[in-house]
Structure 1
Amino acid sequence: MAAAKIKKGDTVVVLTGKDKGQTGTVQAVMPKDGKVVVEGINVMTRHRKPSQTNPQGGIDRVPAPMAISNVAVADKDGKPTRVRFEIKDGKKVRVAVKSGETIDG
């Protein structure tokens, strides 16, 4: 399996779908399913009946997973960029293709 190019905590841009062009922070990555959960993006509403744990009930809004191919890492200017790996100082690091900047450490 290839190394993960998108990780938890990354700022990403949505490339397709109803939220196209929006940016958000990755909350979770599911590599086996090929999905990511992005904060405030792809929000679904769930109508909850009142229960003992939630006596009020109501409408919950939670971000749903979306395909990892529909997001790209945001560059320093907020535009999407691809990611490549390079060896710097004996460490494998992620590098933004557009700007050449190191993404992590």
Structure 2
Amino acid sequence: MAKLRVKTGDTVIVIAGKEKGKKGKIIAAYPKKNRVVIEGINQVKRHTKPTQNNPQGGIVTKEAAIHVSNVMLVDPESGKPTRVKMVQQADGTKVRTAVKSGKAI
């Protein structure tokens, strides 16, 4: 299990697959599976049975997980994809930093 460089709430861009080039916000991260769910990306249709919450049932569209290697964090300064590095500050705390611009995320 590798540590993810992205977290819930980060804006990422898809760099591989059929959704390549699209940006979105991370809704959920699953570090044990190395997968993330991105808002509006990799949408799938699920056939659902009628339940008390959804008495109609039918076809529901929702986001499916995508492998974390297929996404990159968006640089807060330029809006382009960037790698992430951990930088230790003077007070000893570690901060995620964009490699391209050097800005803290």
Q: Give the TM-score normalised by structure 2.
A: 0.89
Name the counterpart of 2:55.
55
Q: CA RMSD in A?
A: 1.5
Of 99, 102, 105, 1:100 maps to 102
- Structure 1 residue 48: deviation in Å? 2.2
- Structure 1 residue 2: deviation in Å? 4.9
Residue 46 (str. 1) matches residue 52 (str. 2) = no
* Residue aligned with 2:96, SS: strand
Structure 1: segments with no counterpart, 5+ residues: none
* Residue aligned with 1:13, SS: strand
Residue 85 (str. 1) matches residue 86 (str. 2) = yes
Aligned partner letter, 1:28? A
Aligned partner letter, 2:58? G
- Structure 1 residue 52: deviation in Å? 3.8
Number of residue pairs matched? 103
- Which contiguous aligned blocks of 4+ residues in structure 1 show a shift greater than 6 angstroms? none
- Tell me the alpha carbon deviations over residues 10-57 of structure 1, each in whole angstroms, 9 at most, x when there is no partner: 000000111100000111111111111111111111122334432222
- Tell me the alpha carbon deviations over residues 54-83 of structure 1, each in whole angstroms, 9 at most, x when there is no partner: 222222111101100000000122211000
Indicate conservation of the 8 Å contact 2:47/2:59, yes or no: yes
Identity %: 53
Aligned partner letter, 2:99? V
Provide the rounded CA distance (Å) in 1 between the counterparts of 2:12 and 2:32. 19
